[in-house]
Amino acid sequence: MQLNEKSKRILDVILHEKQMTVETLTLMLPYSRRTVEYELERIQEWLVANNLSNLKIEGVHIALDVTKELFDHVDQAEWVWSEEERELLIVLYALTNEEFLSAFHFQHLLDVSKFTVQESLNAVKKSAARFGIDFAYTRKHGYHFNGHFQTVTLYLYRTIEQLMDKSTKHQLLDLCLNEWQEQFDQIIDQIEQYEALKQFQFVEEHREKMAYFLLMGRHLDPDSFVRDEENALSENVERSVREYFQDVPHLWATLTMLIQSGPKVSEEMDEEIQQNLAQTMFEVIDRFEAFSCTRVIERVALCEKLVLHAKATLQRVYTEIMPPEELERYVMNEHGVLNVLVDKSLEPFRLQLGTDIPPTEVMYFTLHFAAHLHQQGQNLDEKMKAIVVCPSGISVSHMLDHILKNQFPEFVFLPPISQRDVQQFAPLVDLIFTTVPLPLTVQEQAHVTLVPTLPTRLEQLALKRQIGKRFLNTHELPSLQIEDVLEVIKHHATIHNEKQLRRDLKTMFQNEQRMDDWKGGQPVLNQLITKEEIRLGDRIPDWKESIRVAAKPLVENKSIDVSYIETMIENVEEHGPYIVLMPDVAIPHARPEDGVHQLGMSILKLDEPTMFPGDKPVRIFFVLAAIDQTTHLKALAQLTELLGNETDLSTVLAAKSSDDILEVINQYSEEEEK
């Protein structure tokens, strides 16, 4: 019995987890339960055939005793290649070998039947044709790729991108190239020297792709293909590229494209632009504080992160290279309200750019704010330490880091690291979350858990239960949401009317809407503001007294202490009238620790304005008492939308009763239909 790519991936997960369930495997890998169970039988047979420790399967639970001998056997195992692997192997072997290649050569290479080889050769011919390249057999040259050399080099790079997703990539390369690892390490050093010269770093994944491209591309013979005219790309290659990669002049043109378009960890930029960006990001933070009624702690640290990301945004916007759209699903599901507030806060950056910011770029900024708002407490020594390893780039690393921080607030997370730095940090932490397998030497220093790059809500629930049971001595699963149930239904059935199904599920989950319904979640606007929280008056000359009157309902319903009111007044005296967001509108607030007992909001509407310092008139006060950094954000986003509608705001300002105000508030208090 031999392993295939599926069983190899499953075995990799089990090797790194040591304990696993069938359910978690189906969540972490793109395989059905039946496929997983079948491949587990294959793995068990392979273990028995090689006299290795067996899988211990009890019900849905899987355990395996991991030894160095087992790791060695896995590295040296023979594989049954999948259809996609066979096609990759044919492409790479044909591009890197100059010998005459017949169907018999590939039949021997793949160890399959003549019929299977012919199917794979035909599939390669079709895929190459879509790229504008011919793959055919001639008596003189055997199987050979024909086309413009520049196109062939790009085809090689696209093939390498597919290879990177395979857990068997090293075994595939072993069949194409002899003793390639030492050459690969030298090329990595070569690229890193070039990075040092240019004062930037490629993200780890792109560096690795470039190294494989140079490793295999040096075997291409330009004279075997149609030579492009001596184009400007080749003639105008940068001097540093010529010097650092002088052994591969035929790859210079494509290599230059990969260098220019490749994602980088950070880039040097003009000092004046850097200073302007920093000033702009502080303005963004100021606006966010005003819109969210949240005081940002460690503003400089957040500003540095925003500036770093703004650099990448500048490059992507001006080169029209957009970030992946897979980000949208996660951000809009998990941080839709926060994304609205961040989007509004980014106006200074839009002015600096001179153009609009693509929605996906706004979402990256949202993740930076979300991660900062969820930073851990001060008792670091008493908590378990964790770290995230992700080679897919800084933005993806911070996304995954933020997701895991939300799931495991009990841990202190060190900043995300690259794969090559893991040996240095492993002794400092208890737990390593990684999107790629790590060496056994790392597992001996810290517990290693494999996770998807962007785990879905269900994957997060499974991970929460797994880690909670193992490290936190908890067994309960976090409460299910409607989206969780819908995701399971979509996985197994076709939904004909999702909107109605969502409503029916909502009815099941909530028979009646009470204040307790949003505990642990985010309430809508009219759940915070009822008739009891609204006051109307003619005129109050003193702005301090106006705040006291506006906040009185929150004292009466025990949401706040009187000290909270005085703190709001002191904040205005110290920082100026920052709570006046626009003419006639103020949102007084302070921090949760200044005297808040429960989340609340109250309204005071005056017929004549009260004047704040700086001659700022206010006729309506929305007093906010927040219990944390996020629970109030949905209601606040709805309030922000109301304030942005001049007609509805005028209706509120002209209201003669609490009912008139509530009628408008109710229009903005609907749960979003997704």
CB proximity list for 56: less than 8 A, separation 6 or greater: 62, 63, 64
Percentage of residues in the chain having pLDDT higher than 70: 85
Question: Which residue among the candidates 16, 144, 402, 589 is catalytic per the annotation?
Answer: 589
CATH number at residue 575: 3.40.930.10
Q: Tell me, yes or no, whether 354 lies in a domain.
A: yes
Considering the domain architecture, whether residues 413 and 493 belong to the same structural domain is answered as no
Higher per-residue confidence, 382 vs 152: 152
Q: If you average pLDDT over residues 462-482, what whole number do you get?
A: 70
Considering the domain architecture, whether residues 89 and 38 belong to the same structural domain is answered as no
Considering the domain architecture, whether residues 136 and 205 belong to the same structural domain is answered as yes
Q: Tell me, yes or no, whether 448 lies in a domain.
A: yes
Nearest to 209 by CA among 392, 388, 435: 392
Considering the domain architecture, whether residues 455 and 369 belong to the same structural domain is answered as no
**Which of 349, 373, 397 finishes a domain?**
373
Rounded CA gap, 404 and 386, in Å? 10
**Which of 232, 262, 292 finishes a domain?**
262
Rounded CA gap, 147 and 128, in Å? 10
What pLDDT digit, counting tens, does each position of 74-122 carry?
777 766 788 899 999 999 999 998 888 999 888 888 888 888 999 999 9
What pLDDT digit, counting tens, does each position of 380-416 carry?
345 677 888 877 766 567 778 778 877 887 787 777 8
Q: Tell me, yes or no, whether 242 lies in a domain.
A: yes
**pTM to 2 decimal places:** 0.52
Considering the domain architecture, whether residues 55 and 97 belong to the same structural domain is answered as no
Range of the domain at 491: 482-509
Considering the domain architecture, whether residues 500 and 564 belong to the same structural domain is answered as no
Count CB atoms within 10 A of the CB of residue 132.
12
CATH number at residue 16: 1.10.10.10
Q: If you average pLDDT over residues 168-186, what whole number do you get?
A: 89
Q: If you average pLDDT over residues 198-224, what whole number do you get?
A: 89
What pLDDT digit, counting tens, does each position of 529-557 carry?
999 999 999 999 899 999 999 999 999 98
In terms of DSSP H, where are the helices of 111-267? 114-130, 149-164, 169-176, 180-198, 204-217, 232-235, 239-244, 252-261
Q: Tell me, yes or no, whether 248 lies in a domain.
A: yes
Q: How many independent structural domains does the chain possess? A: 6
How much helix, strand and coil, in percent to the nearest 5, is found in the chain? 60, 10, 30
CATH number at residue 409: 3.40.50.2300
Considering the domain architecture, whether residues 229 and 361 belong to the same structural domain is answered as no
Q: Exposed e or buried b for every residue in 599-628, given b needs 16+ CB within 10 A? A: bbbbbbbbeebbebeeebebbbbbbbbbee
The identity of residue 625, as a single letter, is A
Residue 475 is a catalytic residue: no
Residue 349 has pLDDT above 80, yes or no: yes
| Structure tokens that stand for 208 in this block | 């690795």
Q: Tell me, yes or no, whether 412 lies in a domain.
A: yes
Q: If you average pLDDT over residues 445-474, what whole number do you get?
A: 81
CB proximity list for 122: less than 8 A, separation 6 or greater: none
Q: Tell me, yes or no, whether 516 lies in a domain.
A: no
Residue 320 has pLDDT above 70, yes or no: no
Considering the domain architecture, whether residues 62 and 191 belong to the same structural domain is answered as no
Residues facing residue 146 across a β-bridge: 134
Rounded CA gap, 278 and 285, in Å? 11
pLDDT at 377: 37
Considering the domain architecture, whether residues 16 and 60 belong to the same structural domain is answered as yes
DSSP code per residue over 456-502? -HHHHHHHHHHHIIIII---PPPPP-HHHHHHHHHHHS--S-HHHHH
**Which of 327, 354, 373 finishes a domain?**
373
Considering the domain architecture, whether residues 349 and 486 belong to the same structural domain is answered as no
Considering the domain architecture, whether residues 42 and 58 belong to the same structural domain is answered as yes
Q: Tell me, yes or no, whether 568 lies in a domain.
A: yes
**Taking each helix axis from N to C terminus, what angle separates 359-373 and 394-407, rounded to the nearest 10 degrees?**
40
Q: Tell me, yes or no, whether 326 lies in a domain.
A: yes
Considering the domain architecture, whether residues 442 and 505 belong to the same structural domain is answered as no
* Dihedral over alpha carbons 235, 239, 244, 246 (to 10 degrees): 40
Highest-confidence segment of 15-19, 362-366, 613-617: 613-617
